[in-house]
Amino acid sequence: MATTADFKNGMCLDIDGQYYFIVEFLHVKPGKGPAFVRTKLKNVTTGRILDKTWNSGVRVQEVRIERRPYQFLYKDDMGCNLMNNETFEQVSINPELINGVKFMKEGDELEVVVHAESETILYADMPTHVIMEVTYTEPGLKGDTATNTLKPATVENGAEVRVPLFINAGDKIKIDTRDGSYVERVRE
């Protein structure tokens, strides 16, 4: 058990059987009345943000989690098959539990968050940025770099991304997996 004095960003709590991560918290000591703690909590399964206020000193159920490196092997009708890089154990998880799943390709490294006591996989995160090759896009025009106009492009795993007009098929680009946005062209 932990108290509100132990709160820190990233801490996982069990509230009414649901797991929440603390996104941010603030200890408040008003001039009149007892101190309290305002928190923003993110539900692990749904991703919804919850605002909750706690009286200072309240005991809460902390959940011990571990972050483990896994490698994506392949996708089949059972889900995404991952291999633990330390124990070489293979697991299959639902693609909905992976953040940035549409930019995943074989061999990618993921960080999997696991409930330490029950060994249940809560979710998995792709790296923040991935580098992929553009397989198809309309040809760009030389000197068309002044505007912020974007065009659709298909990358090597079939996902579609909006890219600037000067990007051509065969170019390698860096993509932000959190929102699927183009970051920059990568030169080799």
Q: What are the pLDDT digits (tens) for 8-63? A: 988 889 888 888 989 999 999 988 889 999 999 988 877 789 999 999 889 999 88
Mean pLDDT of 75-84: 89
Write the DSSP assignment of the chain as a string of letters: -EEGGG--TT-EEEETTEEEEEEEEEEE--SSS--EEEEEEEETTT--EEEEEEETT-EEEE--EEEEEEEEEEEETTEEEEEETTT--EEEE-GGGEETGGG--TT-EEEEEEETTT--EEEEE--SEEEEEEEEEPPPPTT--SS--EEEEEETTS-EEEEETT--TT-EEEEETTTTEEEEEE--
With tokens 């309309």, the residue in question is 138
Residue 31 is predicted with a pLDDT of: 87
144: pLDDT strictly greater than 80: no
Opening angle at CA 137, ends 132 and 105, nearest 5: 25
Residue 142 is predicted with a pLDDT of: 64
pLDDT, averaged across the chain: 87
95: pLDDT strictly greater than 70: yes
